């Protein structure tokens, strides 16, 4: 077991800085998930911990010892890749045992470790097979078994489920979580799938363009996102954003469609990753609200009307995509961040709604968030 600490870690390729100073300490036995869109630097960060990429500045410490200059093989860390990286001519047993044979462990110890890992991963009946005779999920289990038998101080996972189909991904992420809890091994896991991140992590590191936007527990990130980026990226679907302005009195927000949202006693910010600046009179803001916090009401009680453009029927849920009546939808915004003034409303699967319908809705009291329109930073009220 081990602690891993990153202190002001940066990475540059030539003049281009791709990691802009990461600070985090991973506790012994903790499973941390690094999540973010493609190209945000999450795999580069993982590879620096593994020693496969050099650190431009800052320090990486394992159990308090600086390892910046330590060779990958001497860091006592096992890495699981998305491509399995199995030897096709070797049996499952030999693939799992290969690293131990190179380390010249006694044959009895090798067999004991491989048999134990095979039992943990339900691979006992496949030990004599070659990788080509296995399914994708079974091959990933073998890759994990190869890491487990080494009994490393930490596991590093680089998008290990991205090559699997949707059903296998669900099954394997549950197995990885259960296995990590059973072994208690410190783990750092990279994914671009925010559902995978939410279900696996003790804590999340949400990255965007080489910057750590927020580090917190999954529910804290979901309920108190530190920025508009985090709010839009975490959640399925992501948060809705409505353009507006803080009133002259500072007591309300005037949305583009004419809706007025009172600010007093709502929009809690406690537990946010950083202390948010206070919203000020006249400030341009984006008001964020999750799809489940838009509530269908009677026409008389509604704050505005949702014009339904598309209906997604998902079985347990029905998602209504549309816009607030009286507002204009900004389709030029990034899909990750969410199009401004576009709305998604989550309803039970039994709901019967058609495209073109007008639905009276209100924002659930207190279940909204304010973000600075220019910086995207979370605002206090």
pLDDT digits (tens, 9 = 90+) for 168-222: 888 888 889 999 999 999 999 999 998 899 999 999 999 999 999 999 999 999 9
pLDDT score, position 337: 41
Residue 154 contacts residue 186 (beta carbons within 8 Å): yes
pLDDT score, position 279: 84
Average pLDDT per run of 10 along the chain, which is 381 residues long?
Answer: 94 94 96 94 95 96 96 92 88 94 93 94 93 91 92 93 86 89 94 92 96 96 94 91 90 88 59 66 93 92 90 92 76 48 89 91 90 92 68
pLDDT tens-digit readout, 309-366: 999 999 999 999 998 887 765 544 433 345 678 899 999 988 889 999 999 999 988 8
pLDDT score, position 264: 65
- Give the count of beta carbons closer than 10 Å to the beta carbon of residue 223: 16
Residue 1 contacts residue 28 (beta carbons within 8 Å): yes
pLDDT score, position 269: 43
Question: What contacts 372, CB < 8 A, 6 or more positions away?
Answer: 277, 283, 284, 285, 286, 379
Integer Rg of the chain from CA: 24
Q: Domains (ranges, CATH) in the chain?
A: 4-223 (3.40.50.300), 228-380 (2.40.50.140)
Q: What is the pTM assigned to this prediction?
A: 0.89
């Amino acid at each position: 077991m081990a602690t891993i600490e990153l202190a002001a870690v940066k990475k540059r390729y030539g003049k281009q800085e791709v990691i802009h100073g990461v600070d985090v300490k991973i506790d012994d036995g903790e499973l941390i998930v690094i999540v973010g869109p493609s190209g945000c630097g999450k795999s580069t960060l993982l590879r620096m911990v593994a020693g496969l990429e050099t650190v431009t500045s800052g320090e990486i410490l394992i159990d308090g010892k600086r390892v910046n200059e330590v060779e990958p093989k001497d860091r006592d860390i096992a890495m699981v890749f998305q491509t399995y990286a199995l030897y096709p001519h070797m049996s499952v047993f030999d693939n799992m045992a290969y690293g131990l044979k190179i380390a010249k462990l006694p044959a009895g110890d090798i067999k004991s470790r491989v048999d134990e890992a095979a039992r943990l991963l339900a691979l006992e009946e496949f030990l004599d097979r070659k990788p080509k005779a296995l399914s994708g999920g079974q091959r990933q289990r073998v890759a994990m078994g190869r890491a487990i038998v080494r009994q490393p101080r930490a596991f590093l996972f680089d998008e290990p489920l991205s090559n699997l189909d949707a059903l296998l991904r669900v099954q394997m992420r549950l197995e990885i979580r259960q296995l990590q809890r059973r072994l208690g091994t410190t783990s750092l896991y990279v994914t671009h799938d925010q559902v995978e991140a939410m279900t696996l992590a003790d804590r999340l590191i949400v990255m965007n363009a080489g910057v750590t936007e927020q580090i917190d527990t999954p529910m804290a990130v979901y309920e108190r996102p530190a920025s508009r980026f985090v709010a839009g990226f975490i959640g399925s679907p992501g948060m809705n954003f409505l353009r507006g302005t803080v009133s002259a009195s500072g007591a309300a927000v005037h949305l583009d469609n004419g809706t007025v949202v009172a600010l007093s006693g709502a929009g809690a910010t406690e537990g946010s990753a950083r202390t948010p600046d206070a919203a000020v009179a006249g400030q341009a803001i984006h008001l964020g609200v999750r799809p489940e916090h838009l509530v269908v009401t009677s026409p008389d009680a509604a704050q505005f009307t949702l014009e339904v453009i598309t209906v997604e029927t998902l079985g347990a849920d029905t998602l209504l995509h549309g816009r607030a009546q009286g507002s204009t939808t900004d389709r030029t915004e990034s899909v990750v961040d969410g199009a401004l003034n576009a709305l998604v409303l989550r309803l039970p699967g039994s709901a019967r709604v058609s495209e073109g319908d007008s639905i009276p809705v209100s924002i659930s009291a207190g279940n909204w968030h304010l973000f600075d329109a220019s910086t995207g930073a979370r605002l206090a009220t």
